[in-house]
Amino acid sequence: MKNIAILSMMYTGILIITSLSSLQAQNTNNMEPTMPENNIFPKDQRGSADYFTGTVWVTPLLDKDSVNNFSIGNVEFETGARANWHTHPRGQVLIVTDGQGFYQEKEKPAQVIKKGDVINIPPNVEHWHGASANSSLVHIAITNFENNEYVTWLAPVTDLEFNEANQTK
Ligand code: MN
Read off the pLDDT band of 109 (50, 70, 90).
very high
How far, in Å, from the CA of 45 to the mean position of ligand 1? 18
Read off the pLDDT band of 158 (50, 70, 90).
very high
- From CA 138, how far away is CA 24, in angstroms rounded? 28
* Per-residue model confidence as pLDDT tens digits over 124-151: 999 999 999 999 999 999 999 999 999 9
How far, in Å, from the CA of 87 to the mean position of ligand 1? 6
Q: Which residues contact 95 (CB under 8 A, 6 or more apart)?
A: 117, 118, 139, 140, 142
How far, in Å, from the CA of 25 to the mean position of ligand 1? 35
pTM: 0.78
What's the mean per-residue pLDDT of the chain? 86
How far, in Å, from the CA of 37 to the mean position of ligand 1? 24
pLDDT at 44: 87
- For the ranges 34-48, 96-110, 128-142, the lowest mean pLDDT is seen at 34-48
- From CA 165, how far away is CA 51, in angstroms rounded? 19
- From CA 49, how far away is CA 91, in angstroms rounded? 23
Q: Per-residue pLDDT for 11 more than 90?
A: no
